[in-house]
Chain A
Amino acid sequence: MDYLNAFLCGGILCAIGQLLIDRTPLTPARILTGYVVCGVFLTALGIYEPIVRWGGAGATVPLLGFGYSLARGVEKAVREQGWLGVMTGGLSATAGGIAAAVVFAVLMALLFKPGDKR
């Protein structure tokens, strides 16, 4: 059941993104950042938490989940360190993901030569 929920949740989020690409003049980069910002707001409003409980990885892996982690990190840091946490919490909570992205990007750039579309 968890797998099905994750599949449905992730699928719906991606389908919305696909509709935005196909039906609106929004560029992929704007949709990307828009998704992250939406994740932050939905978490702040307490809407995303229940979605994560239902959809699991289907909600945390897409870009909205990155916004969710940012918002959650801020929440936690504010609780522990006060208002300074507004600045430090987001990146602390997502540091693992960001560092992994940088490290793997460097690795891939070293290992492979860019190719064109086939």
Chain B
Amino acid sequence: MSCMTGAQTRCLRNAPSVLSFAAVGGRFEGEGPLRDYFDELSEDHFFGEKTWEKGESAMQRRALFHALEKAALRERDLDLIFAGDLLNQCTGSSFALRGSRIPFYGVYGACSTMGESLSLAAIMVDGGYAERAAALTSSHFCTAERQYRMPVPYGSQRTPTAQWTATGSGCCILSREGEGPYLTHVTAGRIVDKGVTDANNMGAAMAPAAYDTLCALFRDTQTVPEDYDLIVTGDLGKLGHRIVADFFARDGISLGERFTDCGLLLYDIDAQDMHCGGSGCGCSASVFCGYLLRGMREGRWQRIIFAPTGALLSPTSTFQGESIPGICHALVLSSRKEG
């Protein structure tokens, strides 16, 4: 019996449950409108460590710690962990977890990593290959600036289309049984590249991928946007969000107020001077593992689409004038256990 519905979507027959979740953020996240949804906010962006990179790993460990603690679990209760970040060779995650004994898969999907890791964890749990699995990702403003642009002390100016890499980490633990919300469908994204080369305008580069994946999800599940209370993309920011809304409007579909974006939710964009909004895999991870999941548990939404987006570029590809491939992975979460 196939678990595939349509070309890209997997139907999770056992609908794994979110068992526990936690979000950790930095100072700017603590000044934003979602501050109350974080489990921990650090004024110190070094998180007590000597370098920002070590700080990012420490932040990931904090997110995992909080998620485990909230469900009264220990590390050994996890059968698997999928983790990722934005640093070269994924060191943020592997260094964060090198002291742990949890079987580990490192994944990279740029800012879509929370979608990727959560999808894989959900499929593993759904298929019975793990009783409990965790998805954990992070990004850190200072390490990402060094990785993709210029070291922060260089003091380069940000362009109007630039987005702000969130300093944040989110951890979500899935289990075969639980109180929900439940993951019912996973849509694997395809790489979409429309030829955008401006690395300071990733919202525009990722928007076509978000449109592609959302269309696939609606087509595969035979649903329409009205079937969902909330459709949240990863970190398209102001510009990318508008592009996706325009794409759907061109098809005669109005996404309306239910369509929003983690990059728009995390900060008070104007007051905090965030230009186009937040980005980074810590952005969608911390919004999801705080605001969105808590909102679902509190009954604010019954059924949502969470669709983190990623720009699959590297500094070298940018220097060589390559365009930016985008990706978007989507998940459907429901407060009812539907197969």
Using a CB–CB distance below 8 Å, which chain A residues touch chain B?
A: 21-22, 25, 27-29, 114-117
Contact = CB atoms under 8 A, between A and B. Distances in A.
B159 A116 contact: no
A58 B237 CA distance: 38
B201 interface: yes
Interface stretch (B101-109, B149-157, B294-302, B303-311): B149-157
A33 B159 CA distance: 18
Interface in B199-253: 199-201
Given A27-B200, A116-B45, A22 B153 contact: no
Contacts of B159: 21-22
Contacts of B153: 114-115
Given A21-B157, A25-B197, A29-B150, 11 more contacts: A21-B159, A22-B159, A27-B199, A28-B150, A29-B156, A114-B152, A115-B153, A116-B45, A116-B52, A116-B141, A116-B142
Nearest to B52: A116
Interface string B174-217: 00000000000000000000000111110000000000000000
Contacts of B157: 21, 28
Given A116-B45, A116-B142, A25 B201 contact: yes
B156 A28 contact: yes
The 8 closest A-B pairs by CB, nearest first: A25-B198, A114-B153, A28-B156, A116-B45, A116-B142, A116-B152, A22-B160, A21-B157
Q: How big is the B interface, by class?
A: 10 to 19
A5 B36 CA distance: 52
Contacts of B141: 116-117
Q: Is the interface of B mostly helix, strand, loop or mixed?
A: loop
Contacts of B197: 25
The SS class assigned to the A binding surface is: loop
A28 B200 CA distance: 11
Interface string B142-167: 10000000111100110110000000
Contacts of B152: 114, 116-117
A25 B197 CA distance: 9
A25 B156 CA distance: 15
Contacts of A28: 150, 156-157
A13 B64 CA distance: 50
Contacts of B199: 27
Contacts of B201: 25
Nearest to A109: B153
Interface in B276-305: none
Contacts of A25: 197-198, 200-201
B59 to A, nearest CB: 13
Contacts of B200: 25, 27
A21 B197 CA distance: 15
A21 B153 CA distance: 19
Contacts of A22: 159-160
